[in-house]
Amino acid sequence: MTDPSKTHTRSTDELPIAYVPDRPQLRETPEQLRARIPGWGADLDPADRPSHPKLRYDPDGTGAHWRFPERQPGAEGRERSIEHAFVTPVFGTAQPLHGVSGHIRRLAYARYSEARLGHWLLLIVGDRVDAWGSHVRSFATLRPDNPVTQTGVLSEFSADGAARRGRSDRRHHLLDPVIVAGPWVAGAGAAVFGARRLLRRMAR
Partner 1 sequence: MRAMTYRGPYKLRVEEKDKPSIEHPNDAIVRVQLAAICGSDLHLYHGMMPDTRIGHTFGHEFIGVVDEIGSSVEHLQVGDRVMVPFNIFCGSCWFCARGLYSNCHNVNANATAVGGIYGYSHTTGGYDGGQAEYVRVPFADVGPVKIPDWMHDEDAVLLTDAAATGYFGAQLGEIAEGDTVVVLGAGPVGLIAAQSAWLMGAGRVIVVDHLTERLEKARTMAYAETLDYDEYDDIVVELKQQTDFLGADVVIEAVGAEADGSCLQHIAGTKLKLQGGSPVALNWAIDSVRKGGTVAVVGAYGPIPSAVKFGDAVNKGLSLRMNQTPVKRQWPRMFEHVRNGYLTPRAMVTHRFPLENISEAYHVFSAKLDGCIKPLILPSAS
| Positions in 153-182 near partner 1 (CB under 8 A) | 153-156, 158, 164-172, 175, 179
When asked if residue 201 is in the footprint of partner 1 (CB under 8 A), the reply is no
* 157, β-bridge pairs: 163
Three-state SS for the chain is CCCHHHCCCCCCCCCCHHHCCCCCCCCCCHHHHHHHCCCCCCCCCHHHCCCCCCCCCCHHHCCCCCCCCCCCCCCCCCCCCCCCCCCCCCCCCCCCCCHHHHHHHHHHHHHCCCCCHHHHHHHHHHHHHHHHHHHHHHCCCCCCCCHHHHHCHHHHECCCCCECCCCCCCHHHHHHHHHHHHHHHHHHHHHHHHHHHHHHHHHC
Minimum CB separation from partner 1 for residue 51, in Å?
Answer: 5
Site string for partner 1, 2-31 (x = CB under 8 A): x---xxxxx-----xxxx----x-xxx-x-
Provide the mask over 114-143, with x wherever binding to partner 1 is found by CB under 8 A and - wherever it is not. Answer: x--x--x--xx-xx--xx-xxx--x-----
Helix 99-111 with 117-138: angle, nearest 10 deg: 170
Between 95 and 203, name the residue whose CB sits nearer to partner 1. 95
Q: Which residues in the 32-91 window bind partner 1 by CB under 8 A?
A: 33, 36-44, 46, 49-52, 54-59, 62-70, 72-75, 78-81, 83-84, 87-91
Closest contact distance (angstroms) between CB of 203 and partner 1 is 35
Shortest spacing between CB 192 and partner 1, in angstroms: 21
Please identify, using beta-carbon distances, which residue of 91 and 193 lies nearer to partner 1: 91
> Shortest approach of partner 1 to residue 71 CB, angstroms?
8
Least distance (Å) between residue 195 CB and partner 1 = 23
Q: Taking CB under 8 A as the rule, does residue 106 contact partner 1?
A: no
